[in-house]
Structure 1
Amino acid sequence: MGDDLMSKKKPSFPISKELDLYLSEYSRNIKIPIFYEDLLRFSGSIVVYDEDDNDTLWLRVFYNEFEREEIDYALKKVYSILISDGNDDILQYLNVDTIDFCTFGNSQPFRVKVRNILNDNFTYFYIKKADASRIYGLELEHMLSPYNLNYLVYKDTLIEEHIAGIPGDIFIKEHLPSLTEFQKSQIAKEFVKFNERCMIRLLGDMRSYNYVIVATPDFDHVVYKIRPIDFDQQSYEGRLKIYRPQFFKENNVMVDLVRSKLQKTSIGQYKIEERSIVAKRILNKLEQLRALLNCMESDHISKPEYVESLRGEIFNFTNDIKFKKAENMGEIVRSALDFIRRNYEDVNMKSLF
């Protein structure tokens, strides 16, 4: 499967009044001193190349001297709000090393590198034009995955903390071939679980460059996990395959790894494990999930023909009549999460007798 099943460009959806109130309720909506549009006023740029002289698709941007001083202060303030308590005391120890702009993809983000001048430690954060699809994706990832996401929204500007890891396409090309057979088996298992999690919560377009591999040393071995880093394609497209990473050609190496390293019974067991874990998270976050899904159901985040197509495909996949009754993407996501929750509760209730 390739780009022919994807829309050429997904539109950006504005933040509705209901979503804005939700973000305020859950401390995501915080006033910040700079907007996305402010960073668009750069006066020059150069291409950023990697260590092998390949174009990274990022531009390093520059501002005139007066504006740069004002922008640097605002960005350090944003960093303090995002990472700490917003206190100005730390600003004197921070330096904005670089500001990069990416024209590739839907969100066209700015990437800001902030360094602590006392110890040279640095981190990144991103400034993007706020898109309701992406915010729904971030919230669902925050609640239903093993990871907490740190982000802020102010009017039409979105601030995201950097998600550390090795980009999937680079990992597949440069790291995967040298792994041990045991490590490859672990990666295969994680890809099955990642594939299942994306499908359950309808996160689309997880091609290899839209997720990262996180390697964590643990006693005498390394634990590998897969994390998405792009949430623009949250429940927008009308084809179920788009929400299943296994069907993208960029992930063919991972799919082949699953086939060669895992038996069908193991694959089935890992899927069940992931559904159970997600079901537990649904139950733990039930009140907040309901509030988010209420926003999604009242929102316009896809096309009517995509809704009709997707609900039909998921009904054929699950035989759950609730999907046929779904009238928008919010209702489809609610039905999907409810399907997982009900199956989990049915199995666990039966186990009591």
Structure 2
Amino acid sequence: MNSFFGNIALADQMSRPSQKKPIFPVDDALRKYLVKYGREVNLPVTYRDLQRFTYTVPLKDKKGNDTSWEKVSYDMREWEFLRENLVRIYAILKTEGDMSFSKHLDVARIDFCYFGNSQPFRIRIVNKFNDNYDHYYIKQADASRVYGLELEHLLSPNRMTYFTNNATLIEEHIPGIPGDIFINEYLNNSNTNLIRLAKEFVKFNERCFVQLLGDMRSYNFVVNITPDIEDVQYRIRAIDFDQQSYEGRKNLYLPQFFKDNRPFVDIVQKHLDQSSIAQYQTEERTMMTFRLVSARYRMKELLDIMSGDQISKPEKLEQLKRELGEHFQNPAYFSKSKTMGQLVKRQLKQTLQKNLLLVPKMKNRQDD
């Protein structure tokens, strides 16, 4: 694998994602997969319905700073239709459509994000009894994002809750502290365990590279903090999957290269040596291998569909094939890929093959 320290020193500031990625439609093969695994459901509200707002008001954060979100307003007839049916969608996400718990729920606010590829709507659901609230998102159904969500669900330690309905995508809110806010407000806190945080960043970096999930700048992931015996544990979770195997530059699939993530990289450099980094990379690849093997039939089905789909541009595919070939010193292996899906399949085999060979031995030990 790559030398983490060597790459830290380079800090390639030329690694910037494309300004605007096209929306790739969900084709028939992927749609059948989504139906088979319960991801495609009938929804009472579509993305297009939410676009019929009358005006917007900029939203500010708690400190009065501008955000990328705007509060949207609708005429009364539209609002009544949306209120009832957005609560229904929340019930589909949380209780498989059981509406018996929905009488005390209401829509407190609908926000629109003009920034980014998917231009999502954020729905705030409030409990009228105690004012507790929750969120979910309605977005355009982009095949790249769907593949990213599925790969995250199958290969990462995180389970993803989402549904599609034709051109609409519904996503559960992923709780956590946004990476950029964590850097500004938590990183230098005396209670922050920088060694454990550095370990988790290495593992997160590895997961993204193995899955070819790109553009993990600090505002595209969150940090979860879990109290543990005498200390805390951290988990970094991706929250944006638009850049699943779309870009041509290899470094865009390694969070360590983004300028925004430099504070995380600095603590890795300060608190971990190369041997520890290699250990944590191996640990993460081992766990990914177990997950891949346990879901091997579903993974094969997904990758076969992905291999026949066009979710990038030819010039980006050629560039990534070349750069991965150079990185692993095996250009002939990656050059055979004709689509990004095929490249993801080869990337998984390349990065996890040593661990795959050990899986039968590990399983036998567990059986003993």
Q: What band does the TM-score fall into relative to the shorter chain?
A: over 0.9
Deviation at 1:349, TM superposition (A): 6.7
What is the percent sequence identity of the aligned residues? 46
- Matches for 1:17-166 after TM superposition, within 5 Å: 17-166=28-177
Letter in structure 2 aligned against 1:328: T
Does residue 271 (structure 1) correspond to residue 281 (structure 2)? The answer is: yes
Match of 1:308 among 307, 318, 342: 318
Gaps (5+ residues) in structure 1?
A: none
Task: State the match for 1:295 in structure 2.
Answer: 305
Match of 2:264 among 240, 254, 273: 254
Does residue 223 (structure 1) correspond to residue 233 (structure 2)? The answer is: yes
Gaps (5+ residues) in structure 2?
A: 1-11
Deviation at 1:180, TM superposition (A): 4.2
Please say if residues 15 and 258 of structure 2, whose CA atoms lie closer than 8 Å, have aligned partners that are also in contact.
no
Task: Give the TM-score of the pair, scaled to structure 2.
Answer: 0.92
Task: State the match for 2:349 in structure 1.
Answer: 338
Match of 2:251 among 222, 238, 241: 241
- 3-state SS in 1 of match to 2:164: strand
**Partner Cα distance (1:277, 1:44) in 2:** 48
Q: Structure 1 residues 2 and 96 mapped into 2: Cα distance closer, same or farther (>3 Å)?
A: farther
Please say if residues 211 and 228 of structure 1, whose CA atoms lie closer than 8 Å, have aligned partners that are also in contact.
yes
**Partner Cα distance (1:98, 1:265) in 2:** 49
Q: Structure 1 residues 348 and 110 mapped into 2: Cα distance closer, same or farther (>3 Å)?
A: closer
Does residue 206 (structure 1) correspond to residue 216 (structure 2)? The answer is: yes
Deviation at 1:50, TM superposition (A): 0.7
Deviation at 1:350, TM superposition (A): 8.3
Please say if residues 136 and 173 of structure 2, whose CA atoms lie closer than 8 Å, have aligned partners that are also in contact.
yes
- 3-state SS in 2 of match to 1:149: coil
**Partner Cα distance (1:301, 1:195) in 2:** 23
Letter in structure 2 aligned against 1:238: G
Please say if residues 15 and 249 of structure 2, whose CA atoms lie closer than 8 Å, have aligned partners that are also in contact.
no
CA deviation map 1:18-59 (0-9, x unaligned): 000000010000000011011111112111101111111100
Letter in structure 2 aligned against 1:119: N
Please say if residues 93 and 118 of structure 1, whose CA atoms lie closer than 8 Å, have aligned partners that are also in contact.
yes
Q: Structure 1 residues 79 and 349 mapped into 2: Cα distance closer, same or farther (>3 Å)?
A: closer
Deviation at 1:2, TM superposition (A): 4.2
- 3-state SS in 2 of match to 1:177: coil
Deviation at 1:220, TM superposition (A): 2.5
Q: Structure 1 residues 350 and 92 mapped into 2: Cα distance closer, same or farther (>3 Å)?
A: closer
CA deviation map 1:112-151 (0-9, x unaligned): 0101223332210000010000000000000011010100
Letter in structure 2 aligned against 1:20: R
**Partner Cα distance (2:14, 2:102) in 1:** 44
Aligned CA RMSD, in angstroms, stands at 1.6
CA deviation map 1:76-99 (0-9, x unaligned): 010011111212322211110010
Deviation at 1:319, TM superposition (A): 3.2
Deviation at 1:3, TM superposition (A): 6.5
Moved over 6 A (4+): 349-352
Letter in structure 1 aligned against 2:165: Y
**Partner Cα distance (1:230, 1:3) in 2:** 21
**Partner Cα distance (2:249, 2:255) in 1:** 12
Please say if residues 279 and 340 of structure 1, whose CA atoms lie closer than 8 Å, have aligned partners that are also in contact.
no
Match of 2:207 among 192, 197, 202: 197
- 3-state SS in 1 of match to 2:102: helix
Deviation at 1:348, TM superposition (A): 5.7
**Partner Cα distance (2:50, 2:13) in 1:** 33
Please say if residues 153 and 159 of structure 2, whose CA atoms lie closer than 8 Å, have aligned partners that are also in contact.
yes
Please say if residues 282 and 341 of structure 1, whose CA atoms lie closer than 8 Å, have aligned partners that are also in contact.
no
**Partner Cα distance (2:355, 2:322) in 1:** 23
Match of 1:6 among 5, 17, 24: 17
Task: State the match for 2:5 in structure 1.
Answer: none
CA deviation map 1:283-334 (0-9, x unaligned): 1111011111111111110011111111111112223443121111000101
